[in-house]
Amino acid sequence: MPRLGLHSLAFTPLWNPAEADALLPQITAHGVSVIETPLLDPQNYDSVGTRRAAERNEVEIVCSLGLPAEMDVSIRPDEVADYLGFALKVARDAGAGALSGVTYGTIGKRSGAPATAAELDAICRLVERVSGKARDLNMKLGIEPCNRYETHLLNT
């Protein structure tokens, strides 16, 4: 059965479970049953509040992110894998069944050239590694392709 989802940035400038809790009844009245929340700062994301708001309003949560600017999969793969592993746990604690987004790179970082074999290899190794962590947490890991103005790595 198809479901209608909405990114939380469409109705609030920054995800806040208390604020969202007040808005979600109006949103779900329009048939929205999935809310995507950004993990802009996984360390300070309110997983408990998010889970409660989702349960009260009977919506599914999906979390998304883009890697921080200082994280390059080709140069710091262990740090990126650890970051995503932590983000997966935060998303799971919020009640999400998936973590999606630009899980392979930084939005806005472009080289001016097509992705190199080394960059693509690093992405593949990362996805393999982190998807195992996701599987262990009974989660799904998503990969969001972006346009060429947002990344040179995986384009639409």
Residue range 64-101, pLDDT digits in tens: 999 999 999 999 999 999 999 999 999 999 999 999 99
Q: How far apart are CA 18 and CA 36, in angstroms?
A: 16
Residue 121 in any domain: the answer is yes
Helix, strand, coil percentages in the chain from 3-state DSSP, rounded to 5: 40, 20, 40
CATH number for position 36: 3.20.20.150
> Is the confidence at residue 156, as pLDDT, over 80?
no
Residue range 127-151, pLDDT digits in tens: 999 999 999 999 999 999 888 888 8
Instruction: Give residue 109's pLDDT band: very low, low, confident or very high (50, 70, 90).
Output: confident
Residue 143: the pLDDT is: 94
Residue 154 in any domain: the answer is no
